[in-house]
Amino acid sequence: MLHMYLPIAGNSVNILIILGLGGFVGLLSGIFGVGGGFLMTPLLIMFGIPPTVAAASDSNQIVGASTSGTLAHWRLGNVDFKMGILLLAGGIIGGTLGVQVIKILRAMGNADFLINITYVIMLGGVGAYMFWESLQGLKKSDAPQHEEEKPVKESGYAKALASLPFQTDFEKSGVRISALLPLIFGTLVGVLAAIMGVGGGFIMVPVMVYLLRMPMHVVVGTSLFQILFTCVNVTIMQSYSNHTVDFVLALLLLLGSTAGAQIGTKISKRLKGDQLKILLASLVLLVCVKMLYGLLATPDIMVAIAGGH
């Protein structure tokens, strides 16, 4: 068994396991446009990496995977840079706000309870809705004779969207909406991501699909583009203020994940939007169940090292 020593994490890991882990999470990243921190961080902790180092090194890894994924999706014409930049700007504002919000929550006490419950309800709600909605879509496409039976009704939400100022064409996404929308939603996701200590891909993807009404394939590419910059920021900040980025660990993960992201993009291309959505919904529900299990099962040890997700 070939091992490598991680000088910042202060432990050694099996090279093949970490390469495989990187490859798998990179694959998910390329298919769905998520960073995969929800999966990677707990697994790294399981392999004996301190929680804070696991989370920070993972964002270093995501920089590589999302560069690789963004490039691959860009070649397919799936990255809406205009939308991505607005979401990103919102995300940065939201992230800064979120850090302040969490300080207030912590001061009030019981913050963890609130965060955990919100997280589970949100994952469960978003996952279930996405699953149901894409299932309907798949059923419809199975019965092509019924296609376009009636024009989609203008909902109150759509009317409200149309009345906002700064209406802008987002050609890649094929939508015309106010430029304020991605900025606002980006901010909201940024706040949530900061509070929950996650990258936010899981929240951002459904927001882009349902609230910004972007096509699923463009959502994946644009999400990766946005994640890339978020993680560049996190990596530098964590290296600078907390010394928690283990470059050796990130490098091992990278080697797997950058390849995984390329293969993931190829898989993504072959799947229909609804198929992608239903798979992602299943994944979201799985994470929700895992979190619930964590909350309900009696822990073996009543204390844990602080930090991480």
Could you write out the three-class secondary structure of 208-246?
HHHHCCCCHHHHHHHHHHHHHHHHHHHHHHHHHHHCCCC
Type of residue at 247: F
For another protein, the closer of residues 43 and 135 by Cβ is 43
Could you give the count of Cα atoms lying within 13 Å of 43 in the half-sphere of its Cβ?
18
With CB under 8 A as the contact rule, the residue among 60, 222, 223, 268 that binds another protein is 60
Q: How near is the Cβ of 278 to another protein at its closest, in Å?
A: 27
Q: Which is nearer to another protein, 1 or 107 (CB)?
A: 1
Task: Compose the 87-126 pattern: x for residues touching another protein by CB under 8 A, - for all others.
Answer: -------------------------xx--x----------
Subset of residues 15 to 54 that bind another protein, contact rule: CB under 8 A: 48
The correct pick among 40, 65, 195, 287 for binding another protein (CB under 8 A) is 65
Instruction: Please say which residue, 54 or 175, places its beta carbon nearer to another protein.
Output: 54
* Residue selected from 261, 276, 280, 281 as contacting another protein according to rule CB under 8 A: 261
The angle that helices 51-75 and 15-32 make with each other, rounded to 10 degrees, is: 50
Cβ atoms 91, 190 nearer than 8 A: yes
Query: In the complex, what is the shortest distance from the CB of residue 181 to another protein, in angstroms, rounded to a whole number?
Result: 29
Q: In the beta sheet, which residues pair with residue 3?
A: 14
Contact between 4 and another protein per CB under 8 A: yes
3-class DSSP state for residue 163?
Answer: coil
**Of the residues 25, 196, 254, 278, which one makes contact with another protein according to CB under 8 A:** 254
- What mask, x for binding another protein by CB under 8 A, covers residues 184 to 223? ----------------------------------------
SS3 category, 125: helix
Q: What's the start-to-end Cα distance of the chain, in Å?
A: 30
How many Cα atoms occupy the beta-carbon half-sphere of 9 within 13 Å?
26
Output phi, psi for 232, to 5 deg: -60, -45
126/129 Cα distance (integer angstroms):
5
Binds another protein by CB under 8 A, chosen from 45, 175, 196, 259: 259
Q: Is residue 178 close enough to count as binding another protein by CB under 8 A?
A: no
Question: What does the alpha-carbon distance between residue 136 and residue 231 come to, in Å, rounded to a whole number?
Answer: 35
Q: Tell me if 280 contacts another protein by CB under 8 A.
A: no
Secondary element (H or E) of residue 4: strand 3-6
Binds another protein (CB under 8 A): choice among 41, 61, 173, 222: 61
Residues that bind another protein (CB under 8 A): 1-8, 10-12, 48, 60-61, 63-72, 75, 112-113, 116, 232, 235-241, 243, 245, 247-248, 250-251, 254-255, 258-259, 261-262, 294-307
